[in-house]
């Protein structure tokens, strides 16, 4: 009897042992993640992979361990913030962008480091899309037409991102004859295997000329391949518009005009300068912007409406605010906010300082991030018309006025006329000033400072001096005289090594090829 | 059944008594132990009969017996004693200790072993040693209790897990936390979710713990194979004991206060320095008004936080059944305002012998922990310490004219600036408002259930089956007010989440012990173990709130923007284990174990691995030739061990190339987020240990000495890939690094006096520990160390030949006496000064300090040095215990040092922004004739990043971490039995106690232990606690 019990008990335990097999315990696969090898296995996953590429553009990762908790590096917010803060037309009020603003960055400071890292993160996603889509089309998962559209979009993002990095990490196009000085590595292989790492790691910095050539080639391909026409994804027109920017930097004035002309009739300026911002997704002027949704945006630490509006981390500088070319009654100064209520204008005042109101949604941060709009194409063309060998100052002036007049209180009396400018240089000066006013707080200032070094007509030497870091006092904004100090941030001469950002130390440490190709002085 | 037996027995006895009454007489006496102390509960039985009694609390007994009969006295741990009844009526007995029976048993992996047969390095701590200490969880009480075990509580936040290191830091990128096993069940550890920090080990009521065994070396840990790399902590909970029911009640009530607060400027000092920052820069003053002198630290710190702990337990047992049950209630307020914890716990242990060959039993522990937390971010605008130390002293916290009652700016975005010309620097909020309104909560329910059946198959051979489940379910709630603080930007925030962690574990254990010819002692253990973990979570968030009315839970429709999310991960482990131990007459010991583990975390090709451990010992004192020395030297054992164990804390699918859901706006997307390496295998820790145990004068003095070496091979490192390749995180996991922890441990225990009225015991331990990185991929430095915290990482480096997480930065020379500029060393030893006016560097020539003609630089890449070692190189403690009659008195000093701490908090406190400063800034350079302390440069408004090099470590803020602290001191008094007898209770003890009362250190911050990876960054002060308590046994 006792023994029977014993054996029953034992066999009961025994069953519980056998019922657990190693396979069911150990053969587990991820529930949260689709494996990389499956990510181009259906039409809908391919579409999702393409969206994942835009995710990198709109959100980035910054220093987070969460792949979707970035700070808008590179196209979601950072290119606006970094582009503005490298220039003199804004004042950094807190610590946030101080290192960029005061040019006290080094190869380890986050702003420049993550510009590089998130830029190349996006580029690799674009390259993986190109390869994944190509393979899927060959396998018949999607049609070649659909594949081409995706490939074009990926090439567009690859091109503009390399171009953006070039403007921060390399000297401008005209720095050396034939732009033979170092640019940035142009990556064209999607890297997801050790073998690809090994083969790509040996490629060093392309020359600036090479990068320009590849950027233009990619943009040409994008123009011909893309069928998408929506604003928040790359379109053929976006590629064309971007080419006007690239040719402008290359000083290929005819190229600017040829590309710009292709867009005539495709876009029109909004009646109000506030138009592109009041309806950032549905206006007639924006050419390429990135979507920011309430549930997916660069967050309180980076979204444009958070940083520039709600948290007021960057003010408009008295330098540009008091510039006499910016008329006192210009609509771009419209300020109907009160101390407690944010208004509907383009500027608001807090603590006496002036802040932009281009980014409206300070609660949900849903404003699109503007990358390029038609006003820029027009001003690019205006400048090219004035600078080209066969300068057409009339056409140039007309293009300038097209942009400027809509902001004037009384265009009939205030509009520029030919007699206002003695020569092409003066006209170009007015166009450049207009760019600073029109694109204030849209991140365009650095690009202009960069390309105008040693310019023949309107040269800039290095980074101009700036108003001291901190919230400027109210009286500094009193209109009537141009701002002439005090300054708190000294100028950085063009010759200074700080003019360009250093390649991040982490890259230098991990990349034996680039280790010898750091920008001089760093 | 039981009642029947009792009745039967009583009848039988009555019968016997009746029959023999004629020749009996009453015998009485007192039974004492070897030292003369009365022994209560000694069984006194007349040999050959069932007649008998037990001694009372004072050791007295009375018994009817006949002349010529023999009385047998038995008591656990004492040698059986007999006495024949003669003419006398009083028989007093002094019993002798039975060394054999008393032989201490130590819990080891999957079983127990006799202390004297242990060949591994195991430290035991009795639950009684730490009883009554007031801490949120038990592990912080273990600090200082054992050599080689380092436990650091680096802030005063209730719910945050103390750091545990057993013989150093065990990995670079994988887990460094030990395996914790409760009554044979590996339990869930770490933070278990919600929005307040919630340490899983909070859910164990410290009062329920009978003992801890800390397995340190390879021999002891090898049986846990793949999970043993960081050591193992075995916890044994209290069980029922055979005998009458015992009820005990313990209560402790204490008051906690910050160990220290910051020495900040008062309004007068602040006005002077703040405006000097500006005038030095040629700007108008910004600080105006001296109506207030506000102590903002009082807004975030409690100086009198009430902490209470009640515990009631019942235990007892019969021949066949043993039971234990306890109820616990803890209510603690933290030293941080808004931080508190309530814990309700219940635990039952039950064991029953069904047959003489079958025992079944089970444990059930259920705990509910409610934690309220707060934002403690070291760099968060509403982080309690970050914020409070930056607030201006000349503005008030409260403003009755503001609708909220707090001093806020007109638009509610920042704290109100009052009469000052500028808003406070860094855009900080009014922390007073934030702490009252914002909520961070975690409510955890933790269930640990296990059941076992044990079958005695043959003499010495048992089979045990054990099944257990550990389930923690945590509900979190977060609320940010839309009016002010972190929620203002999103117009308020509501968040609920749920995290459910389930681990089941089954073990089949066969144990065989036999002794051949009383000489060869053999023990065999075989184990089959399966474990699976599943972690599920989801959350819902609402922002853009309808109204601040909605601040208690997500309420449908009460917010404009809603998001949700969730995740599931799971992993399994399958193990087959064998252990063989042998000793010859307790002189020569050999032990070997092998464990074969398979884990789901690795690819099919690499997931199985074998882990082996070997050890040997020689107890020379047991040799016959040594017997002459035995009276003086009672123990003399040599030990040695070697093992290879692993680390499974490597993430769930580290070998796979994966994508993650990555939306673009509202469009669904996926993207490459994990680079796969299917060659990935385990990290292996090769552990070597050599030890000597010595006992003198019947173990009145014992000394242990260990040398250990832990060679960690094939470290899974995130090998950096050039960022310009765009690979996710720019890292690939590879088994490529190598690191060594090496050290010496000493432990001494001495009892110079042990008499009825007075005893004194002193124990001390010392550990010398050294960490060295021996191999990194291509010798490349890992800048940022093991930290992912952006405030900590920039100050760390992992470099070949150096200690892990060394502090890395610039070397500071001091202040240029001519102009107040900070001066640093370049790599070549030359000096550069950071010219504050231009924020650029110039060569500094000490003989011509004012010269600013030659531009230079301070390179973040080239001009940095290893500044110090962040790991202590020595640590230990001295514990004294005294008893005198009813009094007991004990105290523990703990010490540690040899490490450097980068005091980033101190750097923050000399900010150049419009914020308050510590009094350190009073030592600033003011002029060539008034150069200050030579360390603090000239003030220069808004030049923080340049003046203080906020992105980098510098020797200016580097300090030694050496300290001695009086961790706890307790004075207790037991009521004499005269009183307790009248009260009809067994024992009543009162005590008063102090924790962390004194720290002796040169460290300038709050406390040198308030560091993470060697960096002190705006932590909440640790607490010191004064408490009184009462223990009652019924």
- Say which DSSP state B724 is in: G
Contacts of B76 (CB under 8 A, 6+ apart): B101
Q: DSSP string covering B33-58, please?
A: -TTS-B-TT-EEEETTSS-EEE--TT
3-state secondary structure of B28: strand
Q: Do A51 and B780 touch (CB under 8 A)?
A: no
Instruction: Give the pLDDT confidence of B910-964 residue by residue, as tens digits.
Output: 999 999 999 999 999 999 999 999 999 999 998 888 999 998 999 999 999 999 9
Instruction: Give the pLDDT confidence of A278-329 residue by residue, as tens digits.
Output: 999 999 999 999 999 999 999 989 999 999 998 899 999 999 999 999 999 9
Contacts of B385 (CB under 8 A, 6+ apart): B300, B376, B378, B905, B1018, B1019, B1020
d(CA A182, CA A203): 13
- Do the beta carbons of residue B379 and residue B791 sit within 8 Å? yes
Instruction: Give the pLDDT confidence of B738-783 residue by residue, as tens digits.
Output: 999 999 999 999 999 988 889 999 999 999 999 999 998 888 888 8
Cα dihedral A6, A7, A11, A12 sign:
negative
d(CA A265, CA B541): 44
Shortest distance between the Cα of B506 and any Cα of chain A, in A, equals 8
User: Rounded to 5 degrees, what are φ and ψ at A149?
Assistant: -60, -45
Q: Helices in A226-351 by DSSP H: which ranges?
A: 236-250, 253-262, 275-278, 304, 318-321
Phi/psi-derived region of residue B171, left when phi > 0, alpha when psi is between -120 and 50, beta in every other case? beta
pTM of the model: 0.86
Q: Outline where DSSP puts E strands in A16-172.
A: 90-92
Instruction: Give the pLDDT confidence of B96-139 residue by residue, as tens digits.
Output: 776 554 567 888 989 888 888 888 889 989 888 877 788 888 88
In which band, very low, low, confident or very high, does the pLDDT at B1 lie, cut at 50, 70 and 90? very low
- Output the pLDDT for position A7: 66
In which band, very low, low, confident or very high, does the pLDDT at A8 lie, cut at 50, 70 and 90? low
- Do the beta carbons of residue A276 and residue A283 sit within 8 Å? yes
d(CA B138, CA B164): 12
d(CA B74, CA B54): 10
Max CA pair span of chain B: 119
Which residues in chain A are contacts of B572 at CB distance < 8 A?
A: 24-26, 28
Beta-bridge partner residues of B305: B256
The full length of chain A comes to: 522
In which band, very low, low, confident or very high, does the pLDDT at A2 lie, cut at 50, 70 and 90? low
Q: Quick one: which of B737, B734, B784 has its CA closest to B952? A: B784
Please list the helix, strand and coil fractions of chain B in percent, rounded to the nearest 5, in that order.
15, 50, 40
d(CA B707, CA B722): 41
Shortest distance between the Cα of B914 and any Cα of chain A, in A, equals 10
d(CA B421, CA B865): 41
d(CA A27, CA B436): 49
Residues 24-43 of A with CB under 8 A from B: 24-37, 39
- Say which DSSP state A515 is in: H
B794 CB neighbour count, 10 Å cutoff: 24
In which band, very low, low, confident or very high, does the pLDDT at A9 lie, cut at 50, 70 and 90? low
d(CA A492, CA B921): 31
- Say which DSSP state B789 is in: -
d(CA B837, CA B280): 9
d(CA A520, CA A498): 9
Query: What mean pLDDT do residues B592-600 have?
Result: 94
Find tokens 């008329």 and name the residue. Answer: A327
Instruction: Give the pLDDT confidence of B180-213 residue by residue, as tens digits.
Output: 999 999 999 999 999 999 999 999 999 999 999 9
CA distances from B1026 to B151, B677, B880, B993, B994 (A): 21, 54, 19, 6, 5
* Residue A81: its H or E element: helix A78-85
Beta-bridge partner residues of B796: B807
Instruction: Give the pLDDT confidence of B552-568 residue by residue, as tens digits.
Output: 999 999 999 999 999 99
d(CA A466, CA B974): 75
Question: How many beta-carbon pairs below 8 A join chains A and B?
Answer: 320
In which band, very low, low, confident or very high, does the pLDDT at A19 lie, cut at 50, 70 and 90? low
Which residues in chain B are contacts of A505 at CB distance < 8 A?
A: 783, 860-861
d(CA A285, CA A281): 10
- Output the pLDDT for position A416: 97
* Least trusted range by pLDDT, from B4-8, B440-444, B865-869: B4-8
Best mutation target, A4, A40, A48, A341, to test chain B (most B CBs within 10 A): A48
Find tokens 């990389």 and name the residue. Answer: A36
- B11 pLDDT higher than 60: no
Across the interface, of B465, B604, B722, the residue whose CB is closest to A13 is: B465
Contacts of B88 (CB under 8 A, 6+ apart): none
Q: Structure tokens of A250?
A: 């290359």
3-state secondary structure of A192: coil
- Output the pLDDT for position A469: 87
Q: DSSP string covering B253-283, please?
A: EEEEEES----B--HHHHHHHHHHHHHTTT-
Instruction: Work out the burial of residue B737: count CB atoms within 10 Å of its CB; fewer than 13 is exposed, 13-18 middle, 19 or more buried.
Output: buried
- Output the pLDDT for position A20: 57
- Output the pLDDT for position B21: 44
Average pLDDT over chain B, rounded to whole?
Answer: 91
Residues 417-476 of A with CB under 8 A from B: 468-471, 473
CA distances from A168 to A242, A453, B168 (A): 17, 14, 44
Best mutation target, A5, A187, A201, A363, to test chain B (most B CBs within 10 A): A363
Q: Do A470 and B941 touch (CB under 8 A)?
A: yes
Q: Outline where DSSP puts E strands in B49-104.
A: 52-54, 60-66, 70-74, 81-84, 93-94
Give the chain B residue nearest A40 (alpha carbons).
B670
Q: Structure tokens of B455?
A: 């079958």
Q: Do A13 and B838 touch (CB under 8 A)?
A: no
Q: Structure tokens of B138?
A: 């038990």
Best mutation target, A3, A4, A9, A367, to test chain B (most B CBs within 10 A): A9
Q: Do A200 and B574 touch (CB under 8 A)?
A: no
- Output the pLDDT for position B12: 42
Which residues in chain B are contacts of A6 at CB distance < 8 A?
A: 357-358, 455
d(CA A115, CA B573): 42
Q: Do A31 and B666 touch (CB under 8 A)?
A: no
Beta-bridge partner residues of B164: B151
Exposure class string for A145-158: b at 16+ Cβ within 10 A, else e: ebbbbbbbbbbbbb
Give the chain A residue nearest B656 (alpha carbons).
A35
- A295 in B contact zone (CB under 8 Å): yes
- B361 pLDDT higher than 70: yes
- A511 in B contact zone (CB under 8 Å): yes
Q: Do A6 and B952 touch (CB under 8 A)?
A: no
Q: Do A39 and B659 touch (CB under 8 A)?
A: yes
- Output the pLDDT for position A16: 56
* Residue B946: its H or E element: helix B944-947
Phi/psi-derived region of residue B111, left when phi > 0, alpha when psi is between -120 and 50, beta in every other case? left
Report chain A's terminal Cα–Cα distance, integer Å.
88
- Do the beta carbons of residue B951 and residue B794 sit within 8 Å? yes
Beta strands at A314-316 and B24-32: parallel, antiparallel or unpaired: unpaired
In which band, very low, low, confident or very high, does the pLDDT at B647 lie, cut at 50, 70 and 90? confident
Give the chain A residue nearest B463 (alpha carbons).
A10
Q: Quick one: which of B212, B195, B241, B192 has its CA closest to B367? A: B192
The packing angle between helices A110-138 and A78-85, to 10°, is 140
B245 CB neighbour count, 10 Å cutoff: 11
Q: Do A16 and B284 touch (CB under 8 A)?
A: no
- Do the beta carbons of residue B226 and residue B609 sit within 8 Å? yes
Q: Model ipTM?
A: 0.93
- B869 pLDDT higher than 70: yes
Query: What mean pLDDT do residues B611-632 have?
Result: 91
Instruction: Give the pLDDT confidence of B34-67 residue by residue, as tens digits.
Output: 767 778 778 888 888 878 888 887 888 888 888 8
Which residues in chain A are contacts of B794 at CB distance < 8 A?
A: 108
- Output the pLDDT for position A441: 97
Report chain B's terminal Cα–Cα distance, integer Å.
27
Q: Structure tokens of B942?
A: 């808004």
In which band, very low, low, confident or very high, does the pLDDT at B19 lie, cut at 50, 70 and 90? very low
pLDDT over 90 for what percent of chain B?
Answer: 70
Shortest distance between the Cα of B442 and any Cα of chain A, in A, equals 22
């Amino acid at each position: 009897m006792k023994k029977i019990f014993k054996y029953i008990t034992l066999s009961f335990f025994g069953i519980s042992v056998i019922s657990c097999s190693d396979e069911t315990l150990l053969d587990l696969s991820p529930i949260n993640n689709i494996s990389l090898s499956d990510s181009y296995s259906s039409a809908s996953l391919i579409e999702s992979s393409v969206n994942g590429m835009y995710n990198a553009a709109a959100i980035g990762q910054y220093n987070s361990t969460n792949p979707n908790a970035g700070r808008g590096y590179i196209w979601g917010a950072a290119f606006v913030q970094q582009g503005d803060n490298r220039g003199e037309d804004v004042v950094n009020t807190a610590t946030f962008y101080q290192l960029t603003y005061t040019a006290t960055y080094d190869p380890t400071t986050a702003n420049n480091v993550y510009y590089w890292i998130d830029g190349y993160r996006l580029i690799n996603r674009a390259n993986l899309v190109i390869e994944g889509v190509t393979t899927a089309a060959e396998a018949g998962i999607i049609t070649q037409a659909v594949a081409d559209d995706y490939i074009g979009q990926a090439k567009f993002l690859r091109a503009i991102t390399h171009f953006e990095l070039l403007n921060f990490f390399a000297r401008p196009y005209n720095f050396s004859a034939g732009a033979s000085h170092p640019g940035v590595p142009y990556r064209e292989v999607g890297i997801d295997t050790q073998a690809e790492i090994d083969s790509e790691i040996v490629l060093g910095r392309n020359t600036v000329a090479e990068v320009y050539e590849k950027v233009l080639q990619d943009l040409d391909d994008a123009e011909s391949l893309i069928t998408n026409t929506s604003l928040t994804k790359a379109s053929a027109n976006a590629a064309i518009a971007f080419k006007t920017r690239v040719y402008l930097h290359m000083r290929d004035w005819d190229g600017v005009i040829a590309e710009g002309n292709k867009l005539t009739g495709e876009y029109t300026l909004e009646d109000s300068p506030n138009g592109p911002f009041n309806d950032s997704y549905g206006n007639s002027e924006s050419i390429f912007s990135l979507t920011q949704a309430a549930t997916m945006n660069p967050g309180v630490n980076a979204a444009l409406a958070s940083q520039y509006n709600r948290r007021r981390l960057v003010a408009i500088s008295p330098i540009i605010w008091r510039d006499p070319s910016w008329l006192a009654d210009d609509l771009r100064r419209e300020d109907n906010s009160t101390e407690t209520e944010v208004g509907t204008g383009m500027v608001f005042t807090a603590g006496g300082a002036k802040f932009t109101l281009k980014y409206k949604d300070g609660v949900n941060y849903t404003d699109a991030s503007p990358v390029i709009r038609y006003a820029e194409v027009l001003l690019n063309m205006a400048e090219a018309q004035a600078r080209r060998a066969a300068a057409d100052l009339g056409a140039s002036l007309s293009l300038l006025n097209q942009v400027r007049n809509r902001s004037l209180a009384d265009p009939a009396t205030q509009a520029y006329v030919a007699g206002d400018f003695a020569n092409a240089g003066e006209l170009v000066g007015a166009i450049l000033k207009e760019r600073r006013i029109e694109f204030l707080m849209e991140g365009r200032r650095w690009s202009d400072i960069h390309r105008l070094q040693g310019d023949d007509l309107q040269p800039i030497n290095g980074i101009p001096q700036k108003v001291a870091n901190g919230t400027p006092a109210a009286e500094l904004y009193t209109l009537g005289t141009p701002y002439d100090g005090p300054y708190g941030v000294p100028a950085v001469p063009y010759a200074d090594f700080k003019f360009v950002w250093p390649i991040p130390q982490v890259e230098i440490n991990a990349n034996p090829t680039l280790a010898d190709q750091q920008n001089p002085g760093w | 059944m039981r009642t029947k037996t009792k009745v039967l027995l009583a009848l039988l006895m009555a019968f016997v008594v009746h029959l023999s009454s004629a020749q009996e007489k009453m015998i009485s006496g007192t039974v004492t132990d070897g030292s003369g102390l009365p022994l209560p509960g000694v069984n006194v039985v007349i040999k050959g009969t069932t007649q008998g009694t037990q001694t009372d609390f004072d050791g007295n007994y009375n018994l009817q017996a006949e002349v010529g009969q023999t009385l047998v006295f038995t008591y656990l741990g004492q040698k059986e004693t007999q006495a024949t009844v003669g003419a006398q009526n009083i028989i007093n007995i002094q019993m002798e200790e039975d060394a054999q029976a008393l032989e201490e048993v130590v819990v080891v992996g999957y079983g127990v072993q006799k202390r004297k047969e242990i060949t591994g390095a195991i430290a035991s701590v009795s639950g009684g040693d730490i009883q009554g200490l007031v801490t949120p969880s038990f592990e912080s009480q273990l600090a200082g209790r054992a050599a080689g075990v380092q436990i650091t509580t680096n802030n005063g936040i209730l719910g945050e897990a103390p750091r545990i290191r057993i013989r150093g830091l065990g990995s670079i990128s994988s887990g460094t936390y030990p395996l914790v096993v409760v009554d044979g069940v590996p339990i869930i550890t770490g933070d278990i979710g919600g929005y307040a920090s919630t340490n899983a080990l909070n859910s164990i009521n410290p009062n329920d713990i009978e003992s801890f065994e800390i397995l340190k070396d390879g021999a002891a840990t090898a049986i846990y194979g793949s999970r043993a790399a960081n050591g193992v902590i075995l916890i044994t909970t209290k069980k029922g004991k055979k005998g009458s029911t015992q009820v005990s009640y313990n209560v402790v009530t204490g008051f906690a206060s910050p160990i220290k607060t910051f020495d900040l400027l008062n309004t007068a000092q602040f006005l002077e320095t703040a405006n000097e920052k500006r005038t030095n820069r040629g700007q108008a003053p910004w600080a105006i008004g001296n109506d207030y002198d506000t102590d903002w630290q009082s807004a975030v710190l409690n100086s009198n936080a009430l902490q209470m702990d009640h515990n009631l337990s019942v235990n007892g047992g019969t021949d066949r059944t043993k039971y234990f049950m306890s109820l616990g209630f803890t209510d603690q307020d933290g030293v941080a305002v808004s931080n508190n914890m309530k814990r309700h716990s219940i635990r039952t242990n039950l064991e029953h012998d069904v047959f003489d060959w079958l025992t079944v039993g089970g444990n059930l522990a259920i705990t509910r922990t409610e934690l309220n937390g707060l934002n403690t971010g070291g760099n968060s605008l509403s982080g309690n310490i970050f914020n409070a130390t930056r607030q201006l002293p000349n503005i008030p916290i409260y403003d009755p004219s503001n609708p909220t009652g707090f001093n806020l700016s007109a638009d509610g975005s920042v704290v109100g600036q009052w009469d000052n010309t500028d808003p406070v620097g860094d855009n900080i909020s009014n922390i007073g408002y934030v702490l009252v309104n914002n909520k961070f909560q975690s409510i955890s329910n933790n269930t640990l259930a296990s059941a076992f059946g044990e079958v005695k198959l043959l003499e010495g051979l048992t089979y045990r089956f054990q099944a257990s489940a550990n389930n923690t379910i945590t509900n979190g709630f977060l609320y940010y007010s839309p009016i002010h603080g972190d929620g203002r930007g999103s117009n308020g925030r509501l968040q609920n989440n749920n995290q459910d962690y389930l681990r089941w574990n089954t073990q089949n254990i066969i144990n065989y012990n036999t002794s051949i010819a009383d000489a060869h002692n053999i023990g065999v253990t075989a184990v089959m173990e399966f474990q699976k973990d599943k972690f599920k979570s989801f959350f819902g968030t609402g922002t853009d709130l309808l109204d601040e009315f909605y601040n208690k839970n997500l309420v449908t429709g009460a917010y404009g923007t809603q998001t949700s999310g969730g995740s599931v991960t799971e992993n399994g482990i399958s193990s087959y284990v064998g252990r063989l131990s042998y000793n010859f007459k307790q002189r020569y010991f050999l032990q070997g174990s092998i464990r074969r583990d398979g884990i789901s975390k690795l690819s099919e090709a690499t997931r199985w691995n074998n882990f082996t451990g070997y050890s040997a010992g020689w107890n020379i004192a047991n040799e016959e030739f040594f017997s002459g020395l035995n009276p003086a030297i009672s123990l003399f054992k040599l030990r040695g061990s070697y093992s290879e164990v692993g680390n499974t804390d490597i993430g769930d699918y580290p070998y796979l190339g994966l994508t993650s859901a990555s939306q673009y706006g509202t469009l669904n997307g996926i993207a490459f987020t994990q680079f796969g390496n299917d060659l990935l295998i385990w990290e292996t820790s090769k552990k070597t240990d050599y030890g000597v145990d010595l006992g003198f004068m019947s173990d009145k003095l014992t000394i242990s000495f260990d040398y250990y070496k832990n060679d960690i091979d094939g470290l899974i490192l995130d090998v950096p890939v050039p960022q310009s390749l765009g690979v996710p995180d720019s890292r690939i996991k590879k088994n490529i690094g190598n690191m060594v922890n090496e050290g010496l441990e000493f432990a001494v225990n001495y009892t110079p006096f042990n008499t009825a009225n007075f005893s004194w015991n002193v124990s001390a331990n010392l550990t010398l520990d050294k960490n060295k990185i021996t191999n990194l991929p291509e010798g490349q430095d890992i800048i940022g160390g093991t930290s992912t915290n952006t405030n900590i990482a920039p100050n760390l480096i992992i470099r070949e030949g150096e200690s892990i997480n060394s502090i890395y930065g610039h070397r500071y020379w001091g202040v240029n006496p001519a102009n107040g500029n900070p001066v640093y060393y370049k790599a070549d030893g030359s000096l550069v000064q950071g010219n504050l006016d231009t924020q650029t560097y110039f060569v500094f020539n000490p003989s011509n300090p004012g010269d600013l003609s030659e531009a230079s630089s301070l390179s973040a890449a080239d001009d940095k040095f290893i500044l110090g070692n962040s790991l202590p190189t020595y640590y230990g403690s001295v514990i004294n215990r005294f008893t005198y009659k009813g009094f007991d008195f004990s105290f523990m000093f703990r010490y540690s040092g040899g490490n450097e701490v980068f005091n980033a908090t101190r750097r923050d406190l000399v900010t150049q922004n419009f914020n308050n400063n510590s009094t350190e800034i009073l030592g600033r350079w003011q002029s060539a004739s008034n150069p200050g302390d030579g360390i603090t440069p000239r003030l220069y408004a808004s030049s923080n990043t340049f003046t203080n090099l906020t992105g980098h470590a510098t020797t200016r803020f580097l300090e030694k971490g050496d300290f001695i602290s009086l961790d706890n001191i307790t004075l207790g008094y037991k009521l004499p039995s005269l009183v307790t007898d009248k009260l009809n209770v067994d024992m009543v003890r009162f005590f008063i106690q102090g924790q962390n009362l004194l720290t002796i250190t040169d460290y300038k911050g709050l406390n040198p232990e308030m560091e993470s990876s060697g960096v002190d960054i705006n932590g909440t002060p640790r607490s010191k606690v004064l408490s009184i308590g009462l223990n009652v046994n019924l």
